[in-house]
């Protein structure tokens, strides 16, 4: 570790987060190789079951924002991490850390959003824990959700499975969640209705797998660090080069405008209802048609392809025809976005 | 809810915690009946497996205290919650919420303690998540651990299974963890070495079940709210009356002395390496012998019995021969003890 203290950027999901994980947390706790780091752990051989297990803590600020609140975000995020491993989400735990003085009505609103999101995703909230910290030692509500899913198939969907030729699909516009939270936090009046895309993607994944099975190689949701960081992670894990097409990236005009005004690159802005699906080339168009036909996939697009085996470079063909190298998010663009 | 805002006491594990759970959180999220509220949820019928699933967030202050730190506490606590359901702990997730400015060396010490505790309990840390909040929006480290266990048997060990005649066993002295944390937090020089009892109990439980199986009716660890609150919970869930013997309660002299000076009742002070086992009367002495023969059970004792079916009263025969009614912890005796 090059620093003696934890910096905000260690929570960015980008380069500093990876350093903290790779240099301290993972070597100490679990020794999982980088190429095997996925959104959920896979547990094999439990009375012949194969299970997925995942955890995420949510510290978003503000806790209520256009398009959702920390409650549905915490359910959708963990449902999505299970779905990205190819598992069917079953059960979720809820760990609440409440700050003394939090209003009960805000807590109720958050809990109701959790319940609605869980019902919509068809997962059960089965266990929980509640702690209270003194005023000034927390920030209203932090929520941890952990989840268990079961695999109904034997395919291994993971970040190290991208192959040259594969196409990269995205189910809709980028940057909505990050910009909705940022605008709400900073009180920006962007003259537009940017709302979070927070949404469970397990039903979409279920249909994609039922139709295309083993031809779906990688699924991952581009949350903290955005599409850029997530694509770079996959390129490194799979040891392939990836090329994105800037003009193919779906983005809402309001988000593009807000990013432009604020000097942010939407490729690094967090999403909470989006997934990248890396699919065998000959199934890509059919997979795109399926995605586009679903409510979670309006605006879906093929945004790039895996060009060759190599050591994990990501390039983007820009709108002007140039090539731009894409690296992970460095530092902390938008703290506490999820 | 009788209050508009969250109070510290809502995190006590006692009466206010139960109110928050019973009046808001559980009705909104899951509709689990009170008699079915246990330390872990049981998931049935996953490819013929029966699994336990639990979660706990740790916010103890200070993060390092005599006898342990927040890291081993977070592992042991979740291992114990799985063990109390009768399951064999398998896999644990780790969700870290770090405060900006935390020293990397403290983080390293906590992570190392987690790893050692996990190795000792023979559970694997399989997945994790790390968030960072700005200075003043957290307090050094909060840790959520969630855990999955598997049942190797068909017995239903739960809080509603206590029967008249059963004996109540405790594996050792009470109040050590709470008083160690309190003394350390307040900088009290108690002229003695009170250390936390933080310890994994899954090996002890495994041996108890292997020997006494279905004669073990209830297992529960008396953490927040102490032995008193936990016994009261069980009495209510099982709809029985319970009588404790004050003179039978194991307690270290230093803890008794410190409680006496500070005006605290050790029966309400948190433990992190203790369990209550409610066992069929004719197996109680043999179970005590087994416990006492194990390193986790030195100081074990039979501390009371289930006297009759009723509506959940707990009485204690005092040293002076009187009878004292035991209720749940009211308010917040020791905030942030785990």
Q: Tens digits of per-residue pLDDT, B209-264?
A: 999 999 999 999 999 999 999 999 999 999 999 999 999 999 999 999 999 988 99
Asked if the model's pLDDT at residue A220 lies above 70, the reply is: yes
**Which of A20, A97, A107, A128 has the most B C-beta neighbours within 10 Å, making it the best mutation to test the interface with B?**
A128
Given a cut of 80, is residue A323 above it in pLDDT?
yes
Q: Is there a contact between B97 and A25 if contact means CB atoms under 8 Å apart?
A: no
What pLDDT, on the 0 to 100 scale, is given for residue B161?
97
Please tell me the distance from the alpha carbon of residue B146 to that of residue B182, in angstroms, as a whole number: 26
C-alpha distances (whole Å) from A192 to each of A177, A254, A338, B110 are 14, 6, 22, 46
pLDDT, tens digit, 9 for 90 and up, residues B13-41:
888 999 999 999 999 998 777 778 888 89
- β-pair partners for B276: B170, B220
What is the pLDDT confidence band of residue B329, given thresholds at 50, 70 and 90? confident
Question: Global pTM?
Answer: 0.95
CB nearest to A43's CB, from B125, B126, B129: B126
User: Average pLDDT, whole number, for chain B?
Assistant: 94
Inform me whether the C-beta atom of residue A62 falls under 8 Å from chain B C-beta atoms: no
Residue A49: pLDDT band with limits 50, 70, 90: confident
Task: State the pLDDT at residue A216.
Answer: 98
pLDDT of B31:
74
In the DSSP assignment, the letter for residue A5 is B
Average pLDDT value for chain A = 94
ipTM value, please give it: 0.95
The reported pLDDT for the residue numbered B191 is 63
Which superfamily, per CATH, for B8-150?
Answer: PurM-like, N-terminal domain (3.30.1330.10)
Region A285-301: mean pLDDT is: 98
pLDDT of residue B44: 82
Q: Which of A55, A107, A150 sits opposite B95 (nearest CB)?
A: A55
Q: pLDDT tens digit string along A141-170?
A: 999 999 999 999 999 999 999 999 999 999
Q: What fold does the segment set A167-325 form as a domain?
A: Phosphoribosyl-aminoimidazole Synthetase; Chain A, domain 2 (3.90.650)
Nearest 5°: phi and psi at B251? -150, 135
pLDDT at B312: 95
Domain ranges of chain A: 8-150, 167-325
Give pLDDT tens digits for A26-38. 999 987 777 788 8
Q: What single string gives the DSSP state of each residue in A248-286? A: G----HHHHHHHHHHT--GGGS--SS--EEEE-GGGHHH
pLDDT tens figures, B41-91: 988 877 678 999 999 999 999 999 999 999 999 999 999 999 999 999 999
Give me the pLDDT at residue A335, please. 83
% of chain A residues with pLDDT over 90: 84
Asked if the domains A8-150 and A167-325 are classified in one and the same CATH topology, the answer is no
Give percent above pLDDT 70 in chain A.
99
Quickly state the pLDDT bin for A191 (edges 50, 70, 90): low
**Residue A211, Cβ density class (10 Å: 0-12 exposed, 13-18 middle, ≥19 buried):** middle
**Chain A 137-156, CB below 8 Å of chain B: which residues?**
137-139, 142, 144, 146, 148, 150
Nearest to A49 by CA among B90, B209, B54, B122: B90
CB of B78 within 8 Å of any CB in chain A? no
Token digits of residue B87: 């399951």
Interface check B116 vs A, CB under 8 A: no
Query: Are residues B144 and B73 in contact, defined by beta-carbon separation less than 8 angstroms?
Result: no
């Amino acid at each position: 570790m090059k620093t003696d203290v934890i910096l905000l950027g260690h929570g960015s999901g980008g380069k500093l987060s990876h350093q903290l994980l790779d240099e301290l947390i993972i070597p100490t706790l679990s020794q999982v190789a980088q190429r095997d780091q996925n959104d959920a752990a896979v547990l094999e051989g439990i009375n012949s079951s194969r299970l997925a297990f995942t955890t995420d803590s949510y510290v978003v600020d503000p806790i209520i924002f256009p398009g959702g609140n920390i409650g549905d975000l915490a359910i959708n995020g963990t449902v999505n991490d299970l779905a990205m491993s190819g598992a069917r989400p079953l059960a979720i735990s809820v760990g609440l850390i409440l700050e003394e003085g939090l209003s009960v009505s805000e807590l109720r609103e958050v809990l109701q959003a959790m319940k609605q999101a869980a019902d919509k995703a068809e997962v059960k909230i089965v266990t929980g824990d509640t702690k209270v910290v003194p005023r000034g030692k927390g920030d209203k509500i932090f929520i941890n959700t952990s989840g268990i899913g079961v695999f109904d198939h034997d395919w291994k969907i993971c970040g190290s499975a991208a192959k040259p030729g594969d196409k990269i699909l995205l189910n809709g516009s980028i940057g909505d969640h990050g910009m909705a939270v940022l605008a709400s936090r900073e009180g920006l009046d962007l003259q537009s209705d940017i709302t979070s895309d927070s949404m469970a993607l397990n039903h979409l994944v279920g249909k994609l797998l039922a139709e295309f099975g083993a031809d779906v190689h990688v699924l991952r949701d581009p949350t903290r660090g955005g599409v850029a960081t997530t694509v770079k992670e996959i390129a490194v894990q799979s040891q392939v080069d990836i090329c994105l097409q800037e003009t193919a990236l779906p983005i809402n005009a309001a988000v593009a405008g807000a990013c432009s005004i604020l000097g942010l690159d939407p490729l690094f802005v967090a999403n909470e209802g989006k997934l990248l699906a890396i699919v065998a080339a000959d199934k890509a168009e059919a997979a795109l048609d399926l995605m586009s036909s679903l409510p979670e996939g309006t605006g879906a697009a093929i945004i790039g392809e895996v060009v060759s085996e190599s050591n994990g470079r990501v390039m983007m063909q820009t709108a002007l025809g140039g090539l731009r190298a894409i690296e992970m998010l460095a530092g902390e663009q938008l703290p506490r976005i999820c």
